[in-house]
Structure 1
Amino acid sequence: MGTVVLTMKASVIEMFLVLLVTGIHSNKEMTKKIKRLKFNVPQINCDVKAGKIINPEFIVKCPAGCQDPKYHVYGTDVYASYSSVCGAAVHSGVLDNSGGKILVRKVAGQSGYKGSYSNGVQSLSLPRWRESFIVSESKPQKGVTYPSALTYSSSKSPAAKADLWSTPTYTSSQNRPGANPGEMDFWKPGSVLLDAGFVPKEELSTQSLEPVSLGDPNCKVDLSFLIDGSSSIGKRRFRIQKQFLADIAQALDIGPAGPLMGVVQYGDNPATHFNLRTHTNSRDLKTAIEKITQRGGLANAGRAISFVTKNFFSKANGNRGGSPNVAVVLVDGWPTDKVEEASRLARESGINIFFITIEGAVENEKQYVLEPNFVNKAVCRTNGFYSFHVQSWFGLHKTLQPLVKRVCDTERLACSKTCLNSADIGFVIDGSSSVGTGNFRTVLQFVANLSREFEISDTDTRVGAVQYTYEQRLEFGFDKYSSKADVLNAIKRVGYWSGGTSTGAAISYALEQLFQKSKPNKRKLMILITDGRSYDDVRIPALAAHLKGVITYAVGVAWAAQEELEVIATHPARDHSFFADDFDNLYQYVPRIIRNICTEFNSQPRN
């Protein structure tokens, strides 16, 4: 009997050990299975903003197509939380436009966010925002648990609509219908704010307000769009043109510290819809563009360009003086008037003319084109930089990013009006006997050094020279040389004359022989160099120069009379008259004269 009991005990113990081992093995297998369960990455849409997601760090999957300008991004590398998560990922280069998985980490708000163009996305600038984030490749960090479902700052997730649940709250993914047993997300749509911690109401309202950008400081240009409102364009194509303008306004990041934009519509006659100061952010500008209605009539683009040259880029209309002026002309087919002369005057006023032509004339229509090759006659430079041709209106959007890039490339805007490329400069050089041959060569070197500072061409700054004694001689006029090299060589070839000193007569001669032929929209600068007192009266000729708008700089050397220099010089005399005690010291005044010329230019309205 005892033997039987012992045998039974042994059997029970053996069974217990088998069950224990089996249980341990089963738990290990279960653990391995749980570990092998795949991590579920949440899917979001392109328009989801980081500020709407409460999780401080998460991995998400972005769809394709998030490069679109309508998904706004603010900042570079570090992005304001009002940005599209996926748009920021494309801008940063972590994703391309085909989508994919990314890791997002929230960081502190920044005092400023810099906009930039990268990977097909134009991000916008922002002065400050309460929260930021950075994006990187979706490589999970060790020891960090990432959520399989995101927590949003409202009960309705901005992710896919199919994920919304209106059924009772589920305390775990194991109880949620259709859930993967391995998703330990404790998904509670009815109490999402409580799960994540209370978010103050005012903080949520701050996130819901779209920030107003100060504009991209790397693209500080004053921009006019001349849109075609002629009858031939039709309503459908006119709508496409308006959408293009709205997309441009968004991509440019409009603001007082960046680009400003106005719109002129032309038909029979042009009219300004809004100028540079009317709308100073992209949002308001897009709203205003939507309200534009078509005018109809002919496509008089030349008349519109003249209108813009005379009226648009003025201080009263918001022109900032130091910013390049750009006019983009859209033409359906071809203009019904001539554009060459109007465009030349615009270029010489410092306006960078761009042309976008859509659906040009076919062979049997070319007879109606008033000005063949009108684009090359109109644009700022015939190097392809300033012109686009689009075969169809439906392809117009393809020019958006290239146009934005070129408009913002201020270094290449060759027609921009500046203090160095917008004047007719006439040198009036004393060749009297008291100067002497050696000193005369020093004076010519001074003239060459000043000329070298300017951008010289037939449409930029032009240079002419007069030498005088008792008599006067035109060494070369404004239209003689159209390159800096030619002007410098001409200065070098000027021969010393020798004689008396009739400065008053020389000023009158320069007004007639040089400045009479100056272009009406050019600044007129006279730089007179003399070494002595004039034998004739300088007051009346100097007054005549001032009344004709000629800005006069008087440079005296050695025996020149200070009071005479001040009479010749434009008011205030302290900025326009200079005295060197020796010819060898003339070179010291070159930077000061150039600085004064530019300071005076920048303080004046453009037109």
Structure 2
Amino acid sequence: CSPVILTSDASCDVRAGKINLPEFIVKCPAHCKETKQRVYGTGVFASISSICNAAIHSGVITNAGGKVIVKKMAGQNIYKGTNSNGVRSLSLPKWRESFAVHVGKPKKGVIYPSTLDYIPSRPTYETEALLPCPSLFPPSPCPSAYDPEPKSYPNPIPKPLPRCSRGTAAPENIGTGENYCKVDLAFLMDGSWSIGKRRFKIQKDFLAEVAQTINVGVAGPMMGVIQDDPITEISLKSYSSSRDVKAAVDKITQKGGQSNVGKALSYINKLYFSDATGNRGSAPNVVVVLVDGWPTDKVEEASRLARESGINIFFVTIEGPDENEKHNLVEANFVDKAVCRTNGFFSLPVSSWFGLRKAVQPLVKRVCDTDRLVCSKTCLNANDIAFVIDGSSSVGTGNFRTVLQFVANVTREFEISDTDTRVGAVQYTYEQRLEFAFGQYNNKAELLNAIKRINYWSGGTSTGAAITYAAEQLFSKSKPNKRKIMIVITDGRSYDDVRAPALAVHRQGVIAYSIGIAWAAQDELEYIATDPDKEHSYFVDEFDNLYKYVPKIIQNICQEFNSQPRN
């Protein structure tokens, strides 16, 4: 296949990581801001960011477009999200490559190419039928059949695919050990007695061929194997070449028993991806689950906890249950419950064990498509957030609506669903009222409407009792691995003590923010807030100034999230 050529006139969705040059110049079109192409970082951006929106965010160009110089650099440990020039950038943990943008005035003595080789980010994902291309990775990828936006894949319909002009077979290795496929990859084998010795041997042959295809190496992918007993057969640090991995796979013996996928995923989450076993930290963690028929235990909870720890989960299901067998399932729709997105990317059904070999290349292309492995939890989708809202008579109806707008503005920044960030709300006076619980509204539109519908109560101010009530009614029902965040908004001194209730929720692991307005007591705000106070406690003179603290709160939440190890 011929490489796709991009002239120096870029489109809004072009990401820096898809251009193989250390420094180049592009011309961005107008109105990129409206496309909302994703940007990760501030000043220095992850290479999966849109060049043009990164340039707007940095102030290098305006929304009217213009020329931009792009300079590549090493990957960063943390990319901090901020709101700048009308573009909201997101936070991201470690990424393999970065870039910075500068005003597009050519430097003396530097020759910039007039055309740029552009690597499309969306390969074709067909379960059985693949293009017989001589190379599916840089520098000569095949055209994509999918929309290039990395976030949304609602059951895409493939476009007609061009055939490659050359008839040569694809090479045995489609990996080269380079950073584009730098993943820490673990396979969970089905070792249950139900598959028999012959199928277990087919499974081992499949793993050996995957090892050969991705070309295991310390600069690229590392590969390990777990059997669903569960037991580690090969750790990530055991072997650094495909030949050695293949030899080790050949020696694996079937353990038997049942297909305890849920138990095995819990084992992997707690023990497998650690420094001691060879987890590198700078590479995405990926688990590919091989299962014959269906698991004999539940997988939803174990999979969710693994995903929230930063593990990307793929399922390869061989000879799944037919209509007459579905009543035997321990957990209906177990694949959709186990993977992070039900778009077909993270699940690969194979109709027969004897067709398993055909799944090698489609699977390898997916696990090596690291742009789509931003599926583990980020600061925007890893939380249970409780708003504790002062409804006392001193607030007043108009100001109360302003407070609700502030709550909505903070909420709008997060990814909302039952498996992403969940939001609950309590209003209080002398008494307390649960406005809605975590998970009661599982999409952003419904949640924002629920916030808008909260009715002003009016009464006294018992902030301490409200904090205790939020702990009992909301945080007692938090999910494991969710960060618990409480945002208390008040305009006056409490009639009861706030210190003991605040200390109690801090000890429960709740990260507490206090927002004081007008007559709020500074000492109480500091008691409520998690240490350090200056990062978790804010004060405004007027309700109309609340909006100023939305970006500061979001930025602090993301900075704290990204400073915590998640492998």
Which residue of structure 2 aligns with residue 231 of structure 1? 193
What is the TM-score with the length of structure 2 in the denominator?
0.64
Tell me the CA shift for residue 481 of structure 1.
0.2
Aligned-partner Cα distance in 1 for 2:210–2:202: 12
Which residue of structure 2 aligns with residue 216 of structure 1? 179
Q: SS in structure 2 opposite 1:243?
A: helix
Which residue of structure 1 aligns with residue 45 of structure 2? none
Contact 1:557 1:582 (C-alpha < 8 Å) held by counterparts: yes
Letter of the structure 1 residue corresponding to residue 532 of structure 2? P
Letter of the structure 2 residue corresponding to residue 484 of structure 1? K
- The one of 502, 514, 519 equivalent to 1:559 is 519
Tell me the CA shift for residue 549 of structure 1.
1.1
Contact 2:172 2:213 (C-alpha < 8 Å) held by counterparts: no
Asked if 1:76 corresponds to 2:172, the answer is no
Aligned-partner Cα distance in 1 for 2:412–2:517: 21
Tell me the CA shift for residue 428 of structure 1.
0.9
Encode CA deviations 1:380-428: one digit per residue, 9 max, x unaligned: 3433332222233332122122222333445545752111111111011
- The one of 488, 497, 501 equivalent to 2:461 is 501
Encode CA deviations 1:19-46: one digit per residue, 9 max, x unaligned: xxxxxxxxxxxxxxxxxxxxxxxxxxxx
Contact 2:175 2:214 (C-alpha < 8 Å) held by counterparts: no
Which residue of structure 2 aligns with residue 327 of structure 1? 287
Aligned-partner Cα distance in 2 for 1:277–1:556: 51
Which residue of structure 1 aligns with residue 543 of structure 2? 583
Aligned-partner Cα distance in 2 for 1:575–1:68: 56
Asked if 1:384 corresponds to 2:380, the answer is no
Which residue of structure 1 aligns with residue 269 of structure 2? 309
Aligned-partner Cα distance in 2 for 1:347–1:354: 11
Tell me the CA shift for residue 256 of structure 1.
6.4
Aligned-partner Cα distance in 1 for 2:324–2:457: 63
Judged with a 3 Å threshold, the aligned counterparts in structure 2 of structure 1 residues 520 and 276 are, in CA distance, closer, same or farther, namely same
Aligned-partner Cα distance in 1 for 2:405–2:282: 31
What is the TM-score with the length of structure 1 in the denominator?
0.60
Judged with a 3 Å threshold, the aligned counterparts in structure 2 of structure 1 residues 482 and 365 are, in CA distance, closer, same or farther, namely closer
Q: How does 1:518-537 map onto structure 2 within 5 Å?
A: 518-537=478-497
Encode CA deviations 1:260-287: one digit per residue, 9 max, x unaligned: 5432111xx2012244455566565445
- The one of 379, 384, 399 equivalent to 2:359 is 399
Q: SS in structure 2 opposite 1:76?
A: coil
Letter of the structure 1 residue corresponding to residue 166 of structure 2? D
Judged with a 3 Å threshold, the aligned counterparts in structure 2 of structure 1 residues 500 and 329 are, in CA distance, closer, same or farther, namely same
Judged with a 3 Å threshold, the aligned counterparts in structure 2 of structure 1 residues 461 and 436 are, in CA distance, closer, same or farther, namely same
Which residue of structure 2 aligns with residue 422 of structure 1? 382
Q: SS in structure 1 opposite 2:364?
A: helix
Which residue of structure 2 aligns with residue 247 of structure 1? 209
Aligned-partner Cα distance in 2 for 1:519–1:243: 39
Q: SS in structure 1 opposite 2:232?
A: strand
Tell me the CA shift for residue 343 of structure 1.
3.8
Tell me the CA shift for residue 488 of structure 1.
0.8
Between structure 1 and structure 2, the one with the greater Rg is 1
Q: SS in structure 1 opposite 2:551?
A: helix
Aligned residues: 416
Judged with a 3 Å threshold, the aligned counterparts in structure 2 of structure 1 residues 349 and 483 are, in CA distance, closer, same or farther, namely farther
Which residue of structure 1 aligns with residue 39 of structure 2? none
Encode CA deviations 1:52-79: one digit per residue, 9 max, x unaligned: xxxxxxxxxxxxxxx999x9999737xx
Which residue of structure 1 aligns with residue 470 of structure 2? 510
Letter of the structure 1 residue corresponding to residue 359 of structure 2? T
Letter of the structure 1 residue corresponding to residue 291 of structure 2? V
Tell me the CA shift for residue 600 of structure 1.
1.4
Asked if 1:122 corresponds to 2:174, the answer is yes
Encode CA deviations 1:70-102: one digit per residue, 9 max, x unaligned: x9999737xxxxxxxxxxxxxxx9973527xxx
Contact 1:120 1:401 (C-alpha < 8 Å) held by counterparts: no
Aligned-partner Cα distance in 1 for 2:191–2:471: 45
Aligned-partner Cα distance in 1 for 2:179–2:136: 13
Q: SS in structure 2 opposite 1:294?
A: coil
Letter of the structure 1 residue corresponding to residue 186 of structure 2? S
Letter of the structure 2 residue corresponding to residue 306 of structure 1? S
Aligned-partner Cα distance in 1 for 2:353–2:542: 67
Tell me the CA shift for residue 307 of structure 1.
2.3
Encode CA deviations 1:352-386: one digit per residue, 9 max, x unaligned: 43221223456887676555654344443433332
Judged with a 3 Å threshold, the aligned counterparts in structure 2 of structure 1 residues 411 and 123 are, in CA distance, closer, same or farther, namely closer
Letter of the structure 2 residue corresponding to residue 570 of structure 1? T
Judged with a 3 Å threshold, the aligned counterparts in structure 2 of structure 1 residues 254 and 455 are, in CA distance, closer, same or farther, namely farther
Q: How does 1:48-447 map onto structure 2 within 5 Å?
A: 76=139, 96-98=166-168, 122-124=174-176, 213=177, 215-217=178-180, 219=181, 221-252=183-214, 259-266=221-228, 269-279=229-239, 285-314=245-274, 317=277, 325-347=285-307, 351-360=311-320, 370-371=330-331, 373-410=333-370, 412-413=372-373, 415-447=375-407
Tell me the CA shift for residue 511 of structure 1.
0.3
Aligned-partner Cα distance in 1 for 2:393–2:282: 44
Letter of the structure 2 residue corresponding to residue 98 of structure 1? T
Tell me the CA shift for residue 121 of structure 1.
6.5
Which residue of structure 1 aligns with residue 9 of structure 2? none
Structure 1 regions of 5+ residues with no counterpart? 1-66, 78-92, 100-117, 125-212
Aligned-partner Cα distance in 2 for 1:263–1:273: 5
Asked if 1:547 corresponds to 2:507, the answer is yes
523-532 or 234-243, larger mean C-alpha shift? 234-243
Letter of the structure 2 residue corresponding to residue 294 of structure 1? Q
Tell me the CA shift for residue 431 of structure 1.
2.0
Contact 2:173 2:212 (C-alpha < 8 Å) held by counterparts: no
Encode CA deviations 1:492-537: one digit per residue, 9 max, x unaligned: 1122222222211111111011111111232111111222332221
Judged with a 3 Å threshold, the aligned counterparts in structure 2 of structure 1 residues 544 and 332 are, in CA distance, closer, same or farther, namely same
Contact 1:454 1:461 (C-alpha < 8 Å) held by counterparts: yes
Tell me the CA shift for residue 473 of structure 1.
1.4
Contact 1:321 1:605 (C-alpha < 8 Å) held by counterparts: no
Tell me the CA shift for residue 484 of structure 1.
0.6
Tell me the CA shift for residue 466 of structure 1.
0.9
**Higher RCO, 1 or 2 (CA under 8 Å, sep at least 6)?**
2
Which residue of structure 1 aligns with residue 48 of structure 2? none
Judged with a 3 Å threshold, the aligned counterparts in structure 2 of structure 1 residues 545 and 231 are, in CA distance, closer, same or farther, namely same
Judged with a 3 Å threshold, the aligned counterparts in structure 2 of structure 1 residues 379 and 586 are, in CA distance, closer, same or farther, namely same
Structure 2 regions of 5+ residues with no counterpart? 1-130, 141-162
Which residue of structure 2 aligns with residue 171 of structure 1? none
Judged with a 3 Å threshold, the aligned counterparts in structure 2 of structure 1 residues 466 and 392 are, in CA distance, closer, same or farther, namely same
Asked if 1:594 corresponds to 2:558, the answer is no
Aligned-partner Cα distance in 2 for 1:72–1:405: 11
Q: SS in structure 2 opposite 1:308?
A: helix
Which residue of structure 1 aligns with residue 96 of structure 2? none
Aligned-partner Cα distance in 2 for 1:563–1:222: 48
